[in-house]
């Protein structure tokens, strides 16, 4: 039978190969799995994205307060929805919790989203619905972001939203758009 250390090593290597980064902290492993929602961006957006973020805690004996921060979103990005589902709550209306949006401005501060999970034992999922409005982003602006390979950054930390000074326990980057979905002008 394989030791716990070798199983953990294989798990960490597998997650890294899948593009997810896992860290072992205080006897527990935390991961952030970021992807574009398989249904694509919301149809009423000119050019948008829906990010699905699975945040996992494995081998967690004591649930911890965690903060997930989405950053490096271009200033003036419109965040229509940003929410997550509380772990263990079966009623969707009671489980859904809004995340805090810090709206950036074009050419200045980036837009950031902060989701504060009261506790994380096994799994919670967050969704971010974004748009890059025509009033703020010309076609040239969007093409420049795409050519530069601009990415959204996701960091998971212990503690509340003031925990940004601590090292992330899990991180992930994701392209701004899923290029497998056609972009149409509305």
Q: How many helices (H) and strands (E) are present in the chain, helices listed first?
A: 3, 11
Window from 33-37, 148-152, 171-175, 177-181 with minimum mean pLDDT: 177-181
For 134, which DSSP code? T
Contacts of 67 (CB under 8 A, 6+ apart): 114, 115, 116, 117, 156, 157, 158, 159, 160, 161, 163, 164
pLDDT digits (tens, 9 = 90+) for 96-149: 999 999 988 877 788 999 999 988 888 899 999 999 888 889 989 989 998 999
Classified as helix, coil or strand, 21 is strand
pLDDT at 89 over 70: yes
Give pTM, 2 decimals: 0.78
- What structural domains and CATH numbers belong to the chain? 4-175 (2.60.40.1510)
Between 14 and 67, where is the model more confident?
67
Please give the Cα distance from 90 to 84 (Å, whole number): 13
Task: Quick: pLDDT tens for 1-34.
Answer: 444 333 333 333 323 333 444 444 444 688 888 8
Could you tell me the CA-to-CA distances from 136 to 23, 66, 125, 141, 143 in Å, in that order? 37, 32, 29, 9, 13
């Amino acid at each position: 039978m394989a030791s716990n250390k070798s199983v953990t090593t294989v798990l960490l290597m597998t997650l890294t190969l899948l593009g997810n980064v896992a860290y072992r902290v205080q006897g527990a492993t935390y991961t952030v799995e970021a992807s574009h929602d398989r249904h694509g961006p919301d149809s009423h957006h000119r050019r948008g994205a829906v990010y699905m973020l699975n945040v996992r805690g494995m081998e967690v004996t004591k649930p911890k307060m965690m903060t997930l921060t989405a950053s490096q979103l271009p200033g003036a990005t419109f965040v229509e929805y940003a929410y997550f589902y509380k772990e263990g709550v079966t009623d969707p209306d009671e489980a859904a919790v809004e995340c805090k949006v810090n709206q950036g401005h074009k050419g200045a501060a980036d837009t950031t989203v902060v989701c504060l999970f009261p506790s994380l034992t096994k799994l919670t999922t967050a969704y971010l619905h974004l748009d890059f409005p025509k009033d703020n982003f010309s076609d040239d602006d969007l093409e420049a972001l795409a050519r530069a390979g601009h990415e959204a950054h996701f960091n998971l930390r212990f503690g509340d939203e003031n925990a940004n000074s601590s090292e992330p326990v899990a991180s992930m980057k994701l392209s701004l758009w899923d290029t497998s979905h056609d972009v149409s002008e509305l």
